[in-house]
Amino acid sequence: MERLTPQEEMVMLHIWQLNECAIKDVVERMEDPKPPYTTVASIFQNLENKGYLTKRKFGNVKVFKPKITEAAYKKHFLSGVVRNYFDNSYKELVSFFAKEQKITKEELAEIIRLIEKKDE
C-alpha cells in the first residue's frame, strides 16, 4: 500500500465518508477556498493509479468508490509509525502521548476499558 500525500489523504477522508461519489461531491464538501475542480480531479486520478479507488461510469458521470477501507489504511500506516518510531511497542506510543500530555486521564481510562473488554 503506497503512502498518500496530505492532499490525497484529505480527499480520501471525504470519499470514505461518502463511500461512493463523483469528483464534484468532494469539491462541494471541501473548505473554502475550495481547490479548483481540475486539481481535485488530478488527485482522484492519482488515487485510482495508486489502487485506492475504483471507477465506473454512470451515464456521463464517473463515480468513484474506495477499494481500501479507512480502517485498513489507518492500521497499515499506524503499524509503520509504531514500528519505526516506538520500537514496535504500542505501550511506548501511549506512554509518549501521556508524557506529552496529549492524552487525558479519561481517555487513558477509556483505552484501558477497551482493552479489558477485548480480553473478555
Write down the domain spans for the chain.
6-66, 86-119
Domain 6-66 CATH class label: mainly alpha
3-state DSSP of the chain: CCCCCHHHHHHHHHHHHHCCECHHHHHHHCCCCCCCHHHHHHHHHHHHHCCCEEEEEECCEEEEEECCCHHHHHHHHHHHHHHHHCCCCHHHHHHHHHHCCCCCHHHHHHHHHHHHHHHC
Give the per-residue pLDDT at 104.
Answer: 86
Blockwise average pLDDT, block size 10, the chain, 120 residues: 92 97 96 94 97 95 96 90 90 85 86 83
